[in-house]
């Protein structure tokens, strides 16, 4: 590894979860774990609607698994609002095996990515800070 490629930042992520009939959350986190040079942790809240500034100010990126959208719309809406209010970039992950994403999510995403582990990591690192 080249010295200028070294990145010791630990990314604090919110990853959408909830009803997940295709087990995309598990597949996604496996992709993150497969990249041992990428440091991350996940922050969870019992209610993203009521989580406050002290919670969201620690978040670097919100990862939205688009394949979970239809069964978890309230969760996604809460995170879309938080993203806007606290200026947190959204990395939108296409539904596994599909190209299309819900238009409402595409409009709010800082970047859209498929399921290649290297592309996911690059998207998280390179997502624009401002939307």
Q: How many residues does the chain have?
A: 131
**What pLDDT was estimated at residue 1?**
41
What are 47-84's pLDDT values in tens digits?
999 999 999 999 999 999 999 999 999 999 999 999 99
pTM: 0.90
Round to whole Å and give the CA distance between 8 and 17.
26
Angle at 68 between CA 34 and CA 17, to 5 degrees: 60
Round to whole Å and give the CA distance between 131 and 118.
23
What are 89-122's pLDDT values in tens digits?
999 999 987 878 999 999 999 999 999 999 999 9
């Amino acid at each position: 590894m080249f010295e200028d490629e070294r990145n010791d930042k630990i990314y604090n992520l919110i990853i959408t979860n909830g009803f997940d009939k295709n087990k995309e959350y598990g597949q996604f986190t496996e992709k993150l774990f497969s990249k041992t040079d990428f440091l991350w942790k996940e922050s969870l809240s019992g209610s993203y609607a009521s989580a406050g500034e002290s919670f969201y100010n620690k978040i670097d990126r919100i990862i939205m698994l688009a394949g979970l959208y239809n069964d978890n719309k309230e969760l996604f809406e809460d995170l879309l609002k938080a993203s806007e209010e606290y200026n947190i970039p959204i990395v939108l992950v296409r539904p596994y095996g599909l190209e299309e994403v819900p238009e409402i999510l595409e409009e709010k995403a800082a970047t859209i990515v498929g399921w290649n582990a290297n592309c996911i990591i690059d998207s998280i690192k390179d997502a624009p800070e401002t939307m």
